[in-house]
Amino acid sequence: MKVQKRQNLKLRRRWRIRSKINGTAERPRMSACFTNTHIYVQFVDDEKGSTLAAVSTREKGKAVAKSRANIATATELGKLAAEAAKSKGISAVVFDRGGNPYHGKVKALADAAREAGLKF
């Protein structure tokens, strides 16, 4: 019961965030998803409903692939996400934290992406 309530509260936060932000072709939504073992980042154009670029810890051949979902991994993935976005011509994004509180892994990911050149 307690876990279900926590999940419902996170889902409501995610809906509230998504009602206020929207990704466009000029400024796509940088969506971050965190699980216990992996981190996923997508750049989404909500007008077309398409993913422009994506990076995750599950990609083979990357140094991040063998890491856990922690702050150090989030920092590395933020840099890789910014590089992937720049290669697709994306310079400014809207950050979607996915209902997670903005600290720890989420903050590390966002700060690393900013340092690598993305504008939020």
What is the spatial distance between Cα 79 and Cα 84, in angstroms, rounded to a whole number?
9
Letter for the amino acid at 15? W
pLDDT at 115: 97
pTM: 0.88
pLDDT at 59: 83
DSSP state of 88: T
Domains in the chain: ranges and CATH: 2-115 (3.30.420.100)
Task: DSSP for 34-58, please give it.
Answer: E-SS-EEEEEEETTTTEEEEEEETT
Angle 83-75-55 (CA atoms, 0-180°, nearest 5)?
45
Instruction: For the beta carbon of residue 13, count every other beta carbon within 10 angstroms.
Output: 15
Tens digit of each residue's pLDDT (9 = 90 or more) over 86-118: 999 999 999 999 999 999 999 999 999 999 999
Tens digit of each residue's pLDDT (9 = 90 or more) over 21-74: 999 889 999 999 999 999 999 999 999 999 999 999 988 777 676 678 899 999
Q: Are 83 and 17 in contact (CB under 8 A)?
A: no
